[in-house]
Structure 1
Amino acid sequence: MPGDEARREAQRWITHARRDWRDASLLKQAGSESDSLFWIVQQAVEKYIKAILIREGIVFRRIHDLEKLTDLLPAGHELHNHRCRLELLSIRAMQSRYPGEYDDAKPEELEDAFATGGFVMELMQQEFPAETS
């Protein structure tokens, strides 16, 4: 994908990441303790990672595994230092999709997921400043 086209496509992914993050933030502000927060936060993070991959011209499969997607990021990207946090978010997001098979989320797990999402959204704002202002 040529440069300008890749930047436009990455911007579309960033727009969707911001929407997902806004939705997660609204649910949290409303006091939600729903496991669905894991999924929404994970989706915001996933879309940010995919925006970077698109912008960089890196081909990726349609997967939701944040750890595997992070492995595709350019060497030295900050998210490589947070693979454990991203892996936990992926696991809890997957578990939230299968009620009854896993324990319900504990409030501190939701807080951790939200903290991870917040950290990643701050990175996104630094990396895509024109698109996130």
Structure 2
Amino acid sequence: MPPKDIEPGEPRDWLRHAWSNLELAQTKRNSKVLLEDLCFHAQQAAEKAIKAVLVFRDVPFPKSHNIRTLLDLLPKGLNLPEEAKEAASLTDYAVLTRYPGALEPVTKEEYLEAVRIAKTVVQWAEKLLKN
């Protein structure tokens, strides 16, 4: 069981994990890999990238997978791309994809959209952390 209070860690570590999840989300799909599972990794990539920025800016955040909640914590003036604002739509993939039947099957278009959004968020976070 993880400890109750986990230190936020280093922004670069969060970003490294975000890139890893993005790579997993873009994994070539074979017949046994569900699009729901790939969307889960897209959501995780966006979530961890946002958390990297929050840690970088010393903004505390709750233990939450709700991307809207995390986006609302971002300081003003960070020039979040319009596409990245769509990341809140990925929140359902964080939990509901773990339970068969909780969501309608993900379409290829929904999967591609999830990856596009996640990639935008991760690239935005990378750029912010470099400055």
Q: What TM-score range do you get, normalising by the shorter chain?
A: 0.7 to 0.9
Query: Greater helix percent: which structure?
Result: 1
> Given that residues 65 and 87 in structure 1 are in contact (C-alpha distance below 8 angstroms), is that contact kept between their aligned partners in structure 2?
yes
Which deviates more from structure 2 when the two are superposed, residues 62-71 or residues 13-22? 13-22
Task: Report what 1:10 is aligned to.
Answer: 11
> Given that residues 46 and 64 in structure 1 are in contact (C-alpha distance below 8 angstroms), is that contact kept between their aligned partners in structure 2?
yes
Q: Work out which structure has the larger RCO, using CA pairs closer than 8 Å and 6 or more positions apart in sequence.
A: 2
Shift of 1:87: 1.9
Aligned residue type for 2:13: R
Q: 1:125 & 1:53 partners in 2: Cα distance?
A: 13
Shift of 1:125: 2.9
User: Please, which runs of 5 or more residues in structure 2 have no aligned partner?
Assistant: 1-7
Matched residue of 1:94: which SS?
Answer: helix
What's the TM-score once normalised by structure 2's chain length?
0.79
Shift of 1:71: 0.3
What's the TM-score once normalised by structure 1's chain length?
0.78
User: Please, which runs of 5 or more residues in structure 1 have no aligned partner?
Assistant: 1-5
Shift of 1:88: 1.3
Q: Between the two proteins, what is the percent identity of the paired residues?
A: 28
Aligned residue type for 2:121: V
- What count of residue pairs does the alignment treat as equivalent? 122
Matched residue of 2:102: which SS?
Answer: coil
The alignment's C-alpha RMSD in Å is 2.3
